[in-house]
Amino acid sequence: MMKKYEELMKICLDEAQKYRFDVAPNPMVCAIIYDENNDKIISKGVHKKYGENHAERNAIIEAGDVDFSDKTLIVNLEPCSHQGKTPPCADLIIEKGFKKVVIGTYDPNPLVCSQGVMKLKNAGIEVISGVLEDECKELNKVFIKNVTKKMPYVTVKIATTFDSKIVTAGGESKWITGEASRAYVQKLRAQHFGILSGSGTVLADNPALTCRLKGERSPERIIIDRHGKIPFDYQVFRDDDTRVFLATHNLERDFPKNVAPVEFANFRDLFAKLYNMGVYSILVETGKTILTTLVKQEMADEIYKFVSPKIFGTGMDFIGNLNVFKISECYKLEFREIERVEEDILIKARFLYDE
């Protein structure tokens, strides 16, 4: 039966991720009501919009007039046990008399973690937890960071040669990786609330920092320009109904109406302010100076490194001096996945900072 639960949980994950931006700052959740006796899905429910019904309630409504006493509820996140914008889902599940509940992972909020499961068990409902737990946590990694740290989830994207260079000795950087890798980056942009770049990159390339995939939203733009060097006629500042945040120390300029200046002390301060303004995840596309600072300040969560089968020999490294003199002092990562992107290789890794 566990194999069947995993199959159903994969359906939950696929359905839940469709509403990534609509449910924020809530998690992405899908619930399935399953008849084990007849191997039949009775209904599916998805949390579709912040403030509206949770997935479990939608699945129950969709099921209609059904006897739930022999039914199993599959859900990728522990049913909530507290009153928020909607009533507790755990109470509704108990009221309907479900026989069994299968969950992917517990609620990461330390104030409510495991309380929903405890409620269900105390009511005599069988609970199976940890089904595809890693995949369920991966789906809601942004929510987990948001609810535990009150900070956005920060992903760094870099493109390097085999010898980890990002610019030739002659100053060229386009294009290091192939078309497939650049298309992959557009998907990454579509998955993030914000995209961050620095004044050096913007002045050198005058990028648009949009998502060029048809039907996908572009991330909100966050530009680091401490001293106000970038002219406001650059593409990143255009008025296109996408919010633009200018992280700066120069507040004496006349800012365009679509550009919000944000004064900041360091990246922790900046990201906390952005989180409070609804930027729940950030894709960083910038040069080595900002990346080096992010790592030193332990503010990057994950890195996507696209590696091209090219060697420059000389040129600019993708990261600067981290003041590491002993192996024991190095910054550690956990490899998550390695995949081919046509001629390139993509390495996904998560930073492991000491708590």
- Residues with catalytic roles: 56
DSSP designation for 237:
G
- Rounded to whole angstroms, the Cα distance separating 81 from 116 reads 5
Contact 273, 264 (CB under 8 A): yes
Residue 46 CB contacts under 8 Å (≥ 6 apart), including other chains: 15, 16, 18, 19, 29, 30, 31, 55, 58
Buried b (16+ CB within 10 A) or exposed e, 299-335: bbbbbbbbbbeeebeebbebbbeeeeeeeeeeeebee
- Rounded to whole angstroms, the Cα distance separating 27 from 24 reads 7
CA dihedral 185, 191, 194, 200 (to 10 degrees): -10
Unique residue bearing structure tokens 């993708």: 318
E strands, 78-184, in order = 100-105, 126-128, 153-160, 165-167
How crowded is residue 263: how many other Cβ atoms within 10 Å of its Cβ?
Answer: 14
- Rounded to whole angstroms, the Cα distance separating 286 from 200 reads 8
195 DSSP β-pair partners: 221, 283
- Rounded to whole angstroms, the Cα distance separating 261 from 309 reads 40
